């Protein structure tokens, strides 16, 4: 018998060491990493909002919303689905393959920057705000920076290096917030926000080449890779163009109809409503999709059970938490911002309805895509477009700007129903799990309302 193993002193040393190893293993799990990173991300965004809303006037956030919509529009109209393509492909680590993906991405980014430079003046006049032209043109530099980023960030996701990717993004966000705050104090204009984006993008480029192995790329266009990319991305591009219409038309219309300060309230509410979306998007794309893609490549059975087992607890917590934001929106806005921004609370409650349904919708989308049913994304986007066209028009006629906002907030509901139908045909739907998620969201909303009624008097 080993005398060290029998020694009480050795046991007292080994127990903490074993506990520490278990804690490290727990902390490194994909889901836990995403949860912690999203919490930290949202805390940083809250700090950023508290600082910038005190250094800048509401009109600046209206400007930010207009330019972000323009950038999002040109980017999504040319979306080729590089991330999903690299993660899913069998030869996703081949040098020629990655060089080609990087080259196509760089060419696309340069063309996007040129597009914004050319369209800056006519777009600014279309919005009725000609002073925005220089800002729109300068914002195209963010695409150039993005195009220089190595494909190592995509292969890292393929290898499920979630912890390293999350740490990289948090570091870039800290740098962006610090740069924006310093420039806002010095300049007091939108250039402060744009400067922060430049700093964040350049830091990501640096990290992509220094923190990952085999990160250097060269210009190359491999015909086989290009053919495979087009075969994969044609559905992605079609879906992205439709998603572009349904995700940005409200901003373009409201930017035209609203004064910049009120549009700034809408943009701030949208930013707050997107806080839970950080988890919904990252958990679905970084945890669920690589897992499902691997299971599909390996020919695993009983995907429905594994699909819901993987998402059950995070989904329930997400539903309860996002419902809590809906119920406590006035309290959240009152804590984060001063009285000038109180009207953002109503917009936040409405827009968070879409955020609530985003996780089951995204999870279903990743399951369908990983199992080869790429058309489901396009079909759901068509449903959203039809909904927004009909409900948005009717809502605007009945209630004006608020009616359009209501249509946007409910837009994810018909898309989720469509994805349920697709899951049903794929043999992946468990309706009891879906209803359980909705119940968690309703419970969270109720708790949020109660918490607001109890705590609001103490904050006035």
Per-residue confidence in pLDDT tens, the chain, 460 aa: 444 444 444 344 444 555 455 545 544 566 677 777 777 877 888 788 778 888 887 777 777 877 887 887 788 777 777 777 787 777 767 888 889 989 999 999 999 999 999 988 888 887 777 888 888 899 989 999 999 999 888 888 777 787 888 888 889 999 999 999 999 898 888 788 889 999 999 999 999 999 888 888 888 888 888 888 877 776 666 666 666 666 666 777 777 776 667 777 888 888 888 888 878 887 887 778 877 777 777 777 777 888 888 888 889 999 999 999 999 999 988 888 877 778 888 889 999 999 999 999 988 888 888 777 777 777 887 888 888 888 888 988 888 878 888 988 898 999 999 899 888 888 888 999 999 999 999 999 999 999 888 887 776 6
Give the pLDDT confidence score for residue 10 in this predicted structure. 39
**Joined tokens for residue 338:** 């001063």
Answer for the pair 60, 49: CB distance below 8 angstroms, yes or no. Answer: no
pLDDT for res 7: 42
- The residue length of the chain stands at 460
Structural tokens at position 260: 């910049």
- What residues contact 302, with CB distance under 8 A and at least 6 apart? none
Q: How far apart are CA 201 and CA 208, in angstroms?
A: 11
Q: How large is the C-alpha radius of gyration of the chain?
A: 23
- Taking the model in full, what pTM does it have? 0.60
pLDDT of residue 21: 57
Q: Which of 288, 347, 360 is nearest to 318 (CA)?
A: 360
CA distances from 207 to 112, 171, 196, 335 (A): 23, 10, 17, 35
Asked whether 326 and 448 are in contact (CB, 8 A), the reply is yes
Instruction: Name the nearest CA neighbour of 424 among 383, 382, 376, 387.
Output: 376
Whether the Cβ atoms of residue 61 and residue 268 lie closer than 8 Å to each other:
yes
Cα–Cα distance, 386 to 407 (Å, whole number): 11
Among the listed residues 414, 427, 431, 287, the one whose alpha carbon sits nearest the alpha carbon of residue 357: 414
C-alpha 354/C-alpha 357 separation (Å) is: 5
Burial of 163 (0-12, 13-18, 19+ CB in 10 A): middle
CB 242 within 8 A of CB 418: no
User: In a 10 Å sphere around its CB, with 0-12 CB exposed, 13-18 middle and 19+ buried, how is residue 95 labelled?
Assistant: middle
- Please say whether the beta carbons of 150 and 99 come within 8 A: no
CA-nearest of 164, 157, 125, 119 to 140 is: 119
Q: Output the pLDDT for position 90.
A: 72
Residue by residue, what is the 3-state secondary structure of the chain? CCHHHHCHHHHHHHHHHHHHHHHHHHHCCHHHHHHHHHHHHHHHHHHHHHHHHHHCCHHHHHHHHHHHHHHHHHHHHCCCCHHHHHHHCCCCCCHHHHHHHHHHHHHHHHHHHHHHHHHHHHHHHHCCCHHHHHHHHHHCHHHHHHHCCCCHHHHHHHCCCHHHHHHHHHHHHHHHHHHHHHHHHHHCCCHHHHHHHHHHHHHHHHHHHHCCCCCCCCCCCCHHHHHHHHHHHHHHHHHHHHHHHHHHHHHHHHHHHCCHHHHHHHHHHHHHHCHHHHHHHHHHHHHHHHHHHHHHHCCCCCHHHHHHHHHHHHHHHHHHHHHHHHHCHHHHHHHHCCHHHCCHHHHHHHHHHHHHHHHHHHHHHHHHHHCCCCHHHHHHHHHHHHHHHHHHHHHHHHHCHHHHHHHHHCCHHHHHHHHHHHHHHHCCCCHHHHHHHHHHHHHHHHHHHHHHHHHHHHHC
CA distance 233 to 40: 33
């Amino acid at each position: 018998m080993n005398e060290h193993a029998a020694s009480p002193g050795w046991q007292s040393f080994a127990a903490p060491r074993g506990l520490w190893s278990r804690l490290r293993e727990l902390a490194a799990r994909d889901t836990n990493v995403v949860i912690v990173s999203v919490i930290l991300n949202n805390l940083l965004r809250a700090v950023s909002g508290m600082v910038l809303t005190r250094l800048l006037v509401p009109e600046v956030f209206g400007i930010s919303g207009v330019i972000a919509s323009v950038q999002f529009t040109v980017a999504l109209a040319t979306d080729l689905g590089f991330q999903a393509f690299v993660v899913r492909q069998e030869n996703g680590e081949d040098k020629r393959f990655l060089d080609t993906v990087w080259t196509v991405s760089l060419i696309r980014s340069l063309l996007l920057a040129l597009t914004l430079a050319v369209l800056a003046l006519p777009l600014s006049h279309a919005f009725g705000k000609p002073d925005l032209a220089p800002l729109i043109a300068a914002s195209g530099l963010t695409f150039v920076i993005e195009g220089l980023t190595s494909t190592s960030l995509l292969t890292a996701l393929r290898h499920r290096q979630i912890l390293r990717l999350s740490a990289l993004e948090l570091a870039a966000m800290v740098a962006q917030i610090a740069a924006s705050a310093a420039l806002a104090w010095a300049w007091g204009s939108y250039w402060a926000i744009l400067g922060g984006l430049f700093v964040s993008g350049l830091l990501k480029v640096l990290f992509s080449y220094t923190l990952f192995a085999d990160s250097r790329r060269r210009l190359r266009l491999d015909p086989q890779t290009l053919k495979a990319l087009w075969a994969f991305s044609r559905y992605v591009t079609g879906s992205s163009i439709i998603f572009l219409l349904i995700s940005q038309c409200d901003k373009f219309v409201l930017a035209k109809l609203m004064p910049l300060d009120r549009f700034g309230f809408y943009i701030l509410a949208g930013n707050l409503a997107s806080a839970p979306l950080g988890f919904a998007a990252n958990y679905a794309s970084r945890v669920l999709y690589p897992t499902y893609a691997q299971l599909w490549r390996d020919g695993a059975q009983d995907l429905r059970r594994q699909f819901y087992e993987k998402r059950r607890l995070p989904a329930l917590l997400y539903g309860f938490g996002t419902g809590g934001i809906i119920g406590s929106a006035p309290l959240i806005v009152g804590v984060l911002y001063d009285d000038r921004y109180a009207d953002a609370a109503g917009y936040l409650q409405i827009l968070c309805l879409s955020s609530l349904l985003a996780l089951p919708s995204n999870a279903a989308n990743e399951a369908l895509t990983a199992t080869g049913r790429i058309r489901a994304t396009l079909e759901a986007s068509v449903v959203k477009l039809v909904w927004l066209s009909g409900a948005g028009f009717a809502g605007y006629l009945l209630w004006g700007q608020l009616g359009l906002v209501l249509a946007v907030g409910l837009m994810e509901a018909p898309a989720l129903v469509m994805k349920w139908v697709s899951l049903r045909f794929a043999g992946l739907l468990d309706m009891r799990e879906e209803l359980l998620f909705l119940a968690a969201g309703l419970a969270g909303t109720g708790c949020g309302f109660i918490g607001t009624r109890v705590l609001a008097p103490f904050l006035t």
